Amino acid sequence: MRILIADSHALIRSGLVQVLKALAADVEVTEADTLEQALQALHARDGREPFDLMLVDLNLPNLNAAAGLKALIERGGRAPLVVIAEQDDSRSVEACMAAGALGYLPNSSSRDLILGAIGLVLSGGMYLPPTMLRQRGPRRREPVVSRQDVLPGALRHLTKRQQEVLELLSLGRSNKDIAQALGLAEGTVKIHVSAILKALGVANRTEATARTLGSN
């Protein structure tokens, strides 16, 4: 798994590296302390395996929540971007999410919260800080019909990416084959598979496939 950490504080970068080692044994971390270095790191991946995730400090020198984040997301390709920031007010969060970020983590977040949020984003979801959810409060919205709405039982709770991985699992594909088919790192696929097994309440890939076939 290849991760870019762009943060102006060496101590925070070091702490994040230690946390990420719990995510996967083969994590490869590239560090940057300015927007320019982060963009150069992304450019250096051209023609090579892309990053699987970007963790970006909102107070990174020369970073603008709109233009800077959009530039990183555009250059990062498929790599989701998670913002790490001192502030967690609704205006900052909404600006970052509007720019295309898929997660927003206060830098005071615990190790378990960071890992959980990253796992959610890598699984195709979006993470918002609890304070943001409380500030939003209950909101009425028009019903949205998605593929998940018509899936039976536990399958409905899988993310779109997890559904794609499960579909390939049901065809007997290996993690390596799935990674190549979806443009993911093999370590990322392993995380998806583990999340799928847990969501379906099964012990292995064979049981997950049987559960999928049985629902059709």
Q: Please tell me whether residues 129 and 151 are part of one structural domain.
A: no
Which residue from 19, 18, 190 is spatially nearest to 117, judged by alpha carbons? 19
Decide which of 108, 136, 164 is a domain's last residue: 136
Q: Does 137 have pLDDT greater than 60?
A: no
Q: Does 56 have pLDDT greater than 90?
A: yes
Decide which of 136, 161, 187 is a domain's last residue: 136
Angle of helix 160-169 relative to helix 186-200, nearest 10 degrees? 90
In a domain, 141, yes or no: no
Q: Please tell me whether residues 109 and 157 are part of one structural domain.
A: no
Q: Please tell me whether residues 94 and 174 are part of one structural domain.
A: no
Q: What is the mean pLDDT of residues 88-115?
A: 85
pLDDT given for residue 65 in this prediction: 67
More confident residue, 172 or 27: 27
Q: Please tell me whether residues 76 and 175 are part of one structural domain.
A: no
Q: Is residue 160 very low, low, confident or very high in pLDDT (cuts 50, 70, 90)?
A: confident
Name every residue whose Cβ is closer than 8 Å to that of residue 137 and which is 6 or more positions away in sequence: none
**CATH assignment at residue 163:** 1.10.10.10
pLDDT given for residue 132 in this prediction: 62
Decide which of 73, 102, 136 is a domain's last residue: 136
In a domain, 142, yes or no: no
Q: Which residues of 16-29 are buried (b: 16+ CB within 10 A; e: fewer)?
A: beebbeebbeebeb
- Spatial distance between the Cα atoms of 5 and 120, rounded to a whole number of angstroms: 18
Residues of the domain holding 192: 147-210
More confident residue, 113 or 40: 40
In a domain, 193, yes or no: yes
Q: Checking DSSP bridges between strand 81-85 and strand 53-57, what pairing results, if any?
A: parallel
In a domain, 39, yes or no: yes
Q: Please tell me whether residues 101 and 164 are part of one structural domain.
A: no
More confident residue, 216 or 55: 55
Q: Is residue 133 very low, low, confident or very high in pLDDT (cuts 50, 70, 90)?
A: low
Q: Please tell me whether residues 11 and 98 are part of one structural domain.
A: yes
Amino acid identity for residue 192 in this structure: H
Q: Please tell me whether residues 151 and 87 are part of one structural domain.
A: no
Q: Please tell me whether residues 41 and 128 are part of one structural domain.
A: yes
Which residue from 74, 120, 66, 71 is spatially nearest to 98, judged by alpha carbons? 66
- Spatial distance between the Cα atoms of 183 and 78, rounded to a whole number of angstroms: 8
pLDDT given for residue 4 in this prediction: 94
Q: Please tell me whether residues 194 and 127 are part of one structural domain.
A: no
Q: What's the domain count of the chain?
A: 2
Q: Please tell me whether residues 122 and 200 are part of one structural domain.
A: no
In a domain, 128, yes or no: yes
For the chain, percent of residues with pLDDT exceeding 90:
14
Q: Please tell me whether residues 178 and 125 are part of one structural domain.
A: no
Model confidence pLDDT, tens digit, residues 168-177: 887 778 888 8
In a domain, 215, yes or no: no
In a domain, 216, yes or no: no
Q: Please tell me whether residues 174 and 83 are part of one structural domain.
A: no
